[in-house]
Chains A and B, each alone.
Chain A
Amino acid sequence: MEEDQLKSVLESLLFAAGEPVSLTRLAGAIETVPRETIRAALAAMATAYLSENRGIFLEEVAGGYQLRTRKEYAGYVRRLLATKPPRLSRPLLETLAIIAYRPNITRPEIEELRGVDCGGVLETLGERGLIRISGRKEAPGRPALYETTPAFLELFGLKSLDDLPNLEEFQALNGTVGDVPAAPSATASPDPQQPSSDPEDAAGAEKERTSGTE
C-alpha cells in the first residue's frame, strides 16, 4: 500500500471509530501493513494536520489514536451540538486526581487524604464511567479498590497514567502553590503540539512508558 493511501485509510478508520483506536486495532483492520509503518504514517499525519491548519488534529490518547477538533473552534462545535461542557466540581476533580495518582486505593484511604466523606463523589465518578472497581483489598471487610478508566484518559487527553505530571513536582516546598513550573511538557503546552512530536521523535523514550497500554 502506498503511503498516501495508507494515510487515507488511517484517516477513514479514525474518523469512523471516533474513540481512540490502538495501533494493534488499526493494524488488525488494515492487515497488510506492518505496525511500524502505520506508526510512522500516523506521526506524519499528526504533523500534517497541524502544519496545514486543519480543523482537526491527531492525538495520542488512552493508548490509542483519536481525531479531535481544534481547541480554538470549541465554541463553534459546542454551539452546533448544543452541548454543555462536562461539569467537574472540585470534589470530583480532587478525588479523580487521587485515584489517578494512586490506582487501587480504597475509599477510607481517599477519605483520609481528602479529610471528608467521599461516598457520593465516588458514586458520581462511577456513574460517569471515569473510575471503576479494580478489585478487593485483602483486608478486613475486603474494601473495594478503585482505579481510573480509559474514559478518564480520554476526557483529559492523556496517553496513559504515566502521562500525568509528576506529583512530586507539585510539592511546592515553600507553600507558594502554583509558582512552580511543574512539568510544563505534559500540562502547560497546548495539546495540538503533542502528537507531532510523539511516536517518531520520542519513540525511544515514549515507547517504554506507553507500551503497557497498547
Chain B
Amino acid sequence: MIEKPSPPPDSVPAADAVPRVELPIYQGPLDLLLHLIKRAELDPRDVSASIITEQYLAHLDLMRELNLDVAGEYLVMAATLLLIKSFALLPHPDLKDDEEAEELKRDLIERLLEYQRYREAAAKLEARDLLGRDVFAASGEKPPDPASDAAPYTVSLFDLVQAMAAVLKRLGDRTPRTIALRDIPIADCIPRILAALVDGERVTFASLFADLDDRAVVIATFIALLELIRRGAVRATQEVRYGPIFLERGERFDAPATPVIAAAESGATPAQPEEPES
C-alpha cells in the first residue's frame, strides 16, 4: 500500500473561520423525532411525551451551538410540539381548544407513522440486489452503425492532412539522408490500400502507414488514399472529433476504377502515368 499524504476529509470546510458542519444524520424534523422516540423506547403515538419534546428542543440548542443551520422545518416542528405541550399543561376551559390540540397531535402522529413506513420501505429497497453493486448486466453496447452518418463524424481533408503530418513526423528520424529520385506510381499504392480494407471492418488511418518506412511511399499512399476517398471507394470517419480516423469500404468500393487522374499525379510525388489495374 502506498501511503499518500492526502488532505483530511472535508468534514470541516476551511472557507469560514466559524466551522459550519452539515449534520447528515437526521433527514429533517420527522427523522429526528423518530430517532428520539425509538431511543426512548417509545411509540410514535407517544410523540407528545414531554421527554420527547425536551430532547427535541435540546437537540435544536445543540445544533445552534455547533453553528449548524437549523432549517425552518425544525423550528416549525418545535413550535408544534410546544403548542401540544402547552395545551396539555395549561388549564383550558374552552372545549374547542381541546379538540384543536387533539387534532394537532393526531396529525403529527399520522405523519410520523407514514414517514416511518417510507423510511422502512427505503431500507428494504436498499437491501435488494442492486444492479451495479450486487448484480451486473451485459453492457449492451451497439456497434457503430456504418450506415448512419449521424454517429461518426465525416473526416475533412484538414483532418486527413493533420493525421498525415503525424505519420510523417514519426518517419522523421528514419528517412535516409541520401535523396534518390524514384518513381512511385500512385496507382500501385491503390491495391495495397484496398487490400487492407476487409469488408465490414474498419482500420485506423495510422495502421495503414504503420509498416511503411519510406517517406516517398508514404506520401504516394496518402495521395492514393485521397483519390480513393474522392471516388467514394473508401470512407473516412471519426467517432469523436480529433479522435483516431477510421477507414472502411465506401459505397463505391466495388465500382470499376477510373484511371487515376493525371492532374493529381503531376503534383508533389514523382510518378508516371500507368494503367491503374495491375
User: Chain B residues near A113 (CB, 8 Å)?
Assistant: 111, 114-115, 118
- Which of chain A's residues have a CB closer than 8 A to the CB of B132? 83, 85-86, 155
Known: A71-B129, A113-B118, A175-B37. 11 other contacts (CB 8 A): A17-B138, A18-B138, A101-B121, A114-B28, A114-B30, A116-B73, A155-B130, A177-B38, A177-B116, A177-B119, A191-B128
Q: Per-residue CB proximity of A81-110 to B under 8 Å, as 1/0?
A: 101011010110110111011000000000
Ranked nearest first, the 10 interchain pairs of A and B with the lowest CB-CB distance are: A18-B140, A116-B28, A85-B133, A115-B30, A175-B43, A93-B122, A18-B138, A97-B121, A115-B28, A97-B122
Q: How far is the CB of A120 from chain B (nearest CB, A)?
A: 12
B223-258 interface bits toward A, Cβ cutoff 8 Å, 1 = contact, 0 = none: 000000000000000000000000000000000000
Complex interface residues of chain B between 68 and 82 (CB less than 8 A to chain A): 71, 73, 77
User: B268 contacts the other chain (Cβ, under 8 Å)?
Assistant: no
CB distance from B142 to the nearest CB of A (A): 9
* Chain B residues with CB below 8 A from A59, complex form: 135
Q: Is A22 an interface residue (CB 8 A)?
A: no
A17 to B142, CA, bound (A): 8
Chain A interface, number of residues (Cβ within 8 angstroms) = 53
Residues of A within 8 A of B125 (CB): 93, 96-97, 100, 156
Are B129 and A157 touching (Cβ within 8 A)?
Answer: yes
With the chains together, A11 CA to B113 CA distance in Å?
46
Q: B32: nearest residue on chain A (CB-CB)? A: A115
Smallest CB gap from B29: residue in A:
A115
Residue A69 at the chain B interface, CB threshold 8 Å: yes
Q: How many positions in chain B have a CB within 8 Å of any CB in the partner chain? A: 44
A191-B135 CB under 8 A given contacts A16-B140, A85-B130 = yes
Minimum CB–CB distance for A27 against chain B, Å: 19
Of A68, A114, A165, most buried by chain B (CB within 10 Å of CB) is A114
CA distance A69 to B27 in the complex (A): 34
Partner-contacting stretch, out of A38-46, A166-174, A203-211: A166-174
Chain B binding surface, main DSSP class: helix
Could you tell me if B118 and A98 are in contact, using CB atoms closer than 8 angstroms? yes
Given known A-B contacts A113-B115, A116-B71, A172 and B120 have beta carbons under 8 A apart? yes
Closest to B28 in A: A116
With A114-B28, A115-B111 as contacts: A86 and B133 at CB distance below 8 Å: yes
How far does the Cβ of B216 sit from chain A's closest Cβ, in whole Å?
45
A170: chain B residues at CB < 8 Å are 116-117, 120-121, 124
Q: Which residues of A contact B111 (CB under 8 A)?
A: 112-113, 115
Query: Is the C-beta of B185 less than 8 angstroms from some C-beta in chain A?
Result: no
In the complex the two chains form, what is the Cα distance from A83 to B121 in whole Å? 27
Asked if B127 lies at the interface with its beta carbon under 8 angstroms from chain A, I say yes
Q: Which residues of B contact A98 (CB under 8 A)?
A: 118
Closest to A19 in B: B140
Instruction: Indicate whether A190 reaches chain B with its CB closer than 8 angstroms.
Output: yes
> How far is B125's CA from A157's CA once the two chains are assembled, in angstroms?
10
When distances are taken between beta carbons in the complex, the residues of chain A under 8 Å from B121 are 97, 100-101, 164-165, 167, 170
